[in-house]
Amino acid sequence: MDFLVMNEGFPLLSVLIFMPLAGALVTMFLPSESAARAWALIVTTACALLSISLYTGFDASTAQYQFGEHHPWISQWNINYTLGVDGISLLLILLTTMIMPFCVLASWNYIAKRVKAFMVCLMVMECAMIGVFAALDFVLFYILWEAMLIPMYLIIGIWGGPRKIYASIKFFIYTLAGSVMLLVAIIALYLTSAPHTFSIPMLMGGQYSSTFQLLVFLAFFLAFAIKVPMFPFHTWLPAAHVEAPTAGSVILASILLKMGTYGFLRFCLPITPLATITLMPYILWLSVVAILYGGFTALAQKDMKKLIAYSSVGHMGFVTLGIFVLNVQGIEGAILQMINHGVTTGALFLCVGMIYERTHSRELDQASGIGKQMPIFVTFLAFFSLSSLAFPGTNSFIGEFLILAGGFSRNLIIAGAAIPGAILAAAYMLRMLQKVIWGGVDNPKQKLNDLNGREMVILAPFLLFVFWIGLGPEPFLSVMHTSVAHLLEQVASAANSTAVVGLMP
Amino acid sequence: MLFAPELILLLGSLLLFIFTLTANNNHARKMAVLIGIAASIVSIASINQNGFLFFKAYQIDMFSQLFKVLITISMTVVLLFSNEMKDITPRMKPEYYLFLVLSSLGLVMLVSSVELITLFVALELSSFSLYLMVPMRDDREGLRTQMEAGVKYIMFAVMTTGIMLFGMSYLFGLTGTTYLSEIADLLPKLIKEPAAIVGIAMVLSGFLFKLAVFPFHFWVPDVYQGAANETTSFIASVPKLGAVAILIRITMLAAPEGTMIVKLLVICAICSMFYGNLAALVQKDIKRLLGFSGIAHAGFVLLGLLTLQQEGYATSIFYIVGYVLMNMACFLVLCQVSKKGENIEIADLSGLYHRSPLMAFTLATGMMALAGIPPFVGFMGKFMLLAGALQAKQLTLVILAALNTAIAIYYYLSVLKVAYCDQPTATDAIEVNFTTKALSIALILAIITMGVIPEQMLTIANQAVAALL
């Protein structure tokens, strides 16, 4: 257990994981729907506040997993309940806990039927999502990874738009089909390791033959690439995004997609380094294709949610690009971009939700020219759009800059090919912004109210993070630095022991 | 009191026989429930018994006693949730209960049988009761589907019974004994002989038929559909326990050199999974759907058996127990939704959530567990079966099985979708009595507990298998 700094006393991670679950159980017994709303807000906010102590108590100088908890679970199979965070998962847990209260707030009026059940779904989701980022045992990880699908399926399937059934089943089957192969890979790793273990950190140190690594990598890749989603596994995403209610879209974009890239970082790189290095060029090209494809498709969208969904494909392409260039800037940029995308795209989906609550349409044409009636709203929207297109001074700029810097030091052609993606982002975002603020003023429309207090409270923190990360990213980068360096060491040491030395920086 | 659980069931069926003469319907049901409860308690109490009976043809050990507990409890659960047996012809109700208890008696005896003739007699006792129960459904629509189902069931069963008997004669001919333990001692030397392989395979077929494994699955959809809901609930769960128990006993004969038998089982497993899942995709009648899904799950159970190792056998037991739990959760809901005992189509479940949230949740838990999604028992079982099969170097089989999990999701989800997302066609609330409520909550808790903390059950299963080796 030398990889794990054991937790003395308060089991912070377990509390963070099970608090929402306990909250969900309590919700079932609450008397009214408004009580359920308030209760969900209390629970998620408490979780968010509690998670801050994760950040303050984190020692950024070591790459060990911290806040560790370790209990035997199913001893016959050597399955344990092991939790711990490093600099990478810490940020993602924080992102999760911070986003959740806003998802509750965004559903305040938007969700009108079966409010209780909705809040239960949200809280169960939170439990599973925090758990996925904190799990250090493969079986625990897999169980939480899959368990997350059920509440999301229900969120889309019950509270979604007109084609909700189609979208939810497609979402479920796609992600599940990917993850069953993940399960096979996990079992294969277990059987190959000696002594047999499901412990993720222990498996990272294992020596596996290159053929075995390749097979495991491909199984991993299928599961994670579907989740990200990478081109050509992305087809479930637009449907799911468009049909999901606002909170569902926010969770999908901000957190669920990150699980795929988190999987690449946590499993593919350290456990199958040789396969990662062998397949790196192909995945980089695939990322470039995703960036360009996402950009072009977003440009053609008339539905705002679809536009943002396709832009996500592009943005996540940048993240995978950053991960697989396999150097410090690239990976740090990728992790930061994961957070950025969570903040920015989450906020954009919230904005679309607010428009939808007023106009009952997500069509860009229907929303055109609302700038005059809703000046505060469009100000927010403008900032988030600028952030999405990586305007200097906003968060995404730092992320994309680091990724491209990492990319250029790896391969000039690939990084160069990704550049038009940034320009495309500017094109589709500005097109949307232009239409919403100034387009078709004579559009006959009912009187639209500008943002109310609750809505401003929802959007303001996102804006804060956009500029905080944009202007002073140091607190975010410093947390992950040691962990990322350690990750690259793991890959490099595996590479050095074989003939592929020349590839490493 | 080595024979106590059997004795209770035997005396119980005699009592029920008296009821058939007086034809008092209500009391018959109460009596059957009481017998079930008494048998369950007694089998739990006698779980640690050890010994032989009837010239060593009948063995009492941890293995047999565990299965007795499972069989008697499952029987009681079926009796409890099928409140009124709405679609059993009223005048036949006492007989119905009589045969139900007799069939359980047969199964209970089956799991203790360690001699070919005893095995055969016990199997036939349980089977013949079932053949009689299937056509007992009230022929309200005059379609006589229950007759067709009954005839199909008996015809196919007779055929496989013949094959099985033939196989038994092979084993007897080769070894000169009908005792399984003696056969097990002699067989390793003969296992490479075609006659031995054919013999074991033929004996296996009789029990693969009970478990509804491809290619012995033909009876499943029609019998499931044609029989009354309660009968199907019973047929779909309880006999499968007995079948797994005996399959473990028989496959053990093949260990460890029986590569040919393993190959046969692998083929059966793959075919079962694909056939079951693909056919289930297009079903409208929910009992047929569950029937096909049962064929697929039977394929999964074989994954544990074909490892020919203790852990694999234990996982198979774990899986079949889990399967019975989740299957019962689904059938419990069906029996409640079906007002007059009619067959339920998937469309009839639409908006179930509005009509009874508890029933919808029970169905959801059952379906999710069947689909193998964590944290339910179905996942844990599948996970361990896949791990065991991978350890036995069956990579192709494991990948195909994993693929099947993904296919199966679709039809399980469609049922859920109908229950939760669709608008109800019938708006009246479903009345659920206290027993059923308590049962459904207990089933949900069991399905989740076994999924999250499987250790206890696994330990018991391991001990049970260890008693055999």
pLDDT digits (tens, 9 = 90+) for A290-300: 999 999 998 88
Residues in B closer than 8 angstroms to A150, CB to CB, are: 368, 373
The closest CB to that of B402, out of A146, A154, A180, belongs to A180
- Give how far the C-alpha of residue A466 lies from the chain's centroid of Cα atoms, to the nearest Å: 16
The single-letter DSSP state of residue A46 is H
- Whether A358 contacts A251, CB under 8 Å: no
> Do the chains contact at B387 and A139, CB–CB below 8 Å?
no
CA distance B148 to B16: 27
Whether B400 has a pLDDT exceeding 70, the answer reads yes
Helix axis angle for B434-452 and B357-371, nearest 10°, is 30
Position B320 scores a pLDDT of 93
Nearest to B67 by CA among B194, B246, B236: B246
Q: Averaged over B286-299, what is the pLDDT?
A: 92
Whether B319 has a pLDDT exceeding 90, the answer reads yes
pLDDT in tens, A87-128: 889 989 999 999 999 889 888 888 888 888 889 999 999 999
Position A135 scores a pLDDT of 92
- For residue B192, how many other CB atoms are within 10 A of its CB? 12
Indicate the pLDDT class of residue A288, thresholds 50, 70 and 90.
very high
**Total beta-carbon pairs less than 8 A apart between chain A and chain B:** 77
> Would you call A256 helix, strand, or coil by DSSP?
helix
Position B181 scores a pLDDT of 83
Distance of residue A313 Cα from the nearest chain B Cα, in angstroms = 24
pLDDT in tens, B255-272: 667 788 888 889 999 999
Q: Which residue of B has its CA nearest to A178?
A: B406
CA distances from A358 to A374, A430, A435, B335, B346 (A): 11, 22, 17, 46, 37
pLDDT in tens, A191-221: 888 888 898 888 887 788 888 989 999 999 9
- Mean pLDDT score across all residues of chain B: 87
- Give how far the C-alpha of residue B345 lies from the chain's centroid of Cα atoms, to the nearest Å: 22
For B84, residues 6+ apart whose C-beta sits below 8 A from its C-beta are B29
> Do the chains contact at A169 and B414, CB–CB below 8 Å?
yes
Element (H, E) at A6: strand A4-6
Question: Could you give the angle at the alpha carbon of B448 between the alpha carbons of B446 and B452, nearest 5°?
Answer: 115
Q: Which residue of A has its CA nearest to B454?
A: A74
The single-letter DSSP state of residue A58 is -
Residues in A closer than 8 angstroms to B379, CB to CB, are: 143, 146
The closest CB to that of B420, out of A142, A149, A154, belongs to A154
Percent of chain A with pLDDT over 90: 22
Distance of residue B151 Cα from the nearest chain A Cα, in angstroms = 39
Whether A54 has a pLDDT exceeding 90, the answer reads no
Q: Helix, strand, coil % (nearest 5) of chain A? A: 75, 5, 20
pLDDT in tens, A452-470: 888 888 888 889 989 898 8
Percent of chain B with pLDDT over 70: 97
CA distance A75 to B142: 56
B85 vs B425, residue with greater confidence: B425
Q: Which residue of B has its CA nearest to A78?
A: B455
Q: Averaged over A389-401, what is the pLDDT?
A: 88
Whether A504 has a pLDDT exceeding 50, the answer reads no
Q: Which residue of A has its CA nearest to B406?
A: A177
Mutation pick from A137, A150, A168, A215 vs chain B, by most beta carbons of B within 10 Å, is: A150
A495 vs B465, residue with greater confidence: B465
Distance of residue A198 Cα from the nearest chain B Cα, in angstroms = 12
Position A502 scores a pLDDT of 42
SS (H, E, C) A344-377: HHHHHHHHHHHHHHHHCCCECCCCCCCCCCCHHH
Q: Which residue of A has its CA nearest to B419?
A: A158
Element (H, E) at B273: helix B259-280
> Do the chains contact at A173 and B406, CB–CB below 8 Å?
yes
CA distance B341 to B191: 50
Whether A180 has a pLDDT exceeding 50, the answer reads yes
Q: What DSSP line would sit under B55-79, residue for residue?
A: TTTEEESHHHHHHHHHHHHHHHHHH
Position A411 scores a pLDDT of 84
Is any Cβ of chain B less than 8 angstroms from the Cβ of A492?
Answer: no
Residues in A closer than 8 angstroms to B458, CB to CB, are: 74, 76
Indicate the pLDDT class of residue B183, thresholds 50, 70 and 90.
confident
Partners of residue A83 on adjacent β-strands: A69, A135
Residues 73-92 of A with CB under 8 A from B: 73-77
Q: Which residue of A has its CA nearest to B421?
A: A158
| Identity at B430, one-letter amino acid code | I
CA distance B158 to B162: 6
ipTM of the complex: 0.86
Is any Cβ of chain B less than 8 angstroms from the Cβ of A56?
Answer: no
Token pair belonging to A216:
């495991």
Mutation pick from A71, A75, A76, A165 vs chain B, by most beta carbons of B within 10 Å, is: A76
Element (H, E) at A38: helix A33-56
Whether A232 has a pLDDT exceeding 50, the answer reads yes
Element (H, E) at B364: helix B357-371
> Do the chains contact at B413 and A173, CB–CB below 8 Å?
yes
Whether A440 has a pLDDT exceeding 70, the answer reads no
Mutation pick from A155, A183, A193, A226 vs chain B, by most beta carbons of B within 10 Å, is: A183
> Do the chains contact at A146 and B374, CB–CB below 8 Å?
yes
Position A178 scores a pLDDT of 84
Whether A474 has a pLDDT exceeding 50, the answer reads yes
- Mean pLDDT score across all residues of chain A: 86
Is any Cβ of chain B less than 8 angstroms from the Cβ of A164?
Answer: yes
pLDDT in tens, B211-235: 889 888 888 888 888 888 888 899 9
Position A505 scores a pLDDT of 43
Is any Cβ of chain B less than 8 angstroms from the Cβ of A180?
Answer: yes
- For residue A55, how many other CB atoms are within 10 A of its CB? 14
Q: What DSSP line would sit under A286-330, residue for residue?
A: HHHHHHHHHHHHHHT--BHHHHHHHHHHHHHHHHHHHHHT-SHHH
Q: Which residue of B has its CA nearest to A219?
A: B399
Distance of residue A369 Cα from the nearest chain B Cα, in angstroms = 36
Indicate the pLDDT class of residue B24, thresholds 50, 70 and 90.
low
> Do the chains contact at A173 and B390, CB–CB below 8 Å?
no
Position A503 scores a pLDDT of 47
Mutation pick from B412, B417, B423 vs chain A, by most beta carbons of A within 10 Å, is: B417
Indicate the pLDDT class of residue A501, thresholds 50, 70 and 90.
very low
CA distances from B362 to A423, B405, B440 (A): 52, 21, 6
- Whether B397 contacts B302, CB under 8 Å: no
Residues in B closer than 8 angstroms to A153, CB to CB, are: 413
Distance of residue B410 Cα from the nearest chain A Cα, in angstroms = 7
The closest CB to that of B391, out of A73, A172, A191, belongs to A191
> Do the chains contact at A173 and B409, CB–CB below 8 Å?
yes
How many Å from the N-terminal Cα to the C-terminal Cα in chain A? 30
> Do the chains contact at B458 and A76, CB–CB below 8 Å?
yes
Is any Cβ of chain B less than 8 angstroms from the Cβ of A153?
Answer: yes
B143, burial (CB in 10 Å: exposed 0-12, middle 13-18, buried 19+)? exposed
- Whether A357 contacts A439, CB under 8 Å: no
> Would you call A504 helix, strand, or coil by DSSP?
coil
Residues in A closer than 8 angstroms to B409, CB to CB, are: 172-173, 176
Nearest to B283 by CA among B339, B194, B331, B344: B344
> Do the chains contact at A158 and B420, CB–CB below 8 Å?
yes
Is any Cβ of chain A less than 8 angstroms from the Cβ of B351?
Answer: no
CA distance A315 to A384: 14
For B456, residues 6+ apart whose C-beta sits below 8 A from its C-beta are none
Q: Averaged over A417-433, what is the pLDDT?
A: 88
> Do the chains contact at B374 and A143, CB–CB below 8 Å?
yes
> Do the chains contact at B405 and A180, CB–CB below 8 Å?
yes
Is any Cβ of chain B less than 8 angstroms from the Cβ of A143?
Answer: yes
Position B322 scores a pLDDT of 93
Please state whether the peptide bond connecting residue B375 to the residue before it is cis, i.e. omega within 30 degrees of 0: yes
Whether A498 has a pLDDT exceeding 60, the answer reads no
Nearest to B329 by CA among B371, B299, B276: B371
Position A499 scores a pLDDT of 44
Mutation pick from B373, B400, B418, B449 vs chain A, by most beta carbons of A within 10 Å, is: B373
Position B270 scores a pLDDT of 92
CA distance B332 to B437: 10
Residues in B closer than 8 angstroms to A183, CB to CB, are: 383, 386, 402
Residues in B closer than 8 angstroms to A154, CB to CB, are: 420
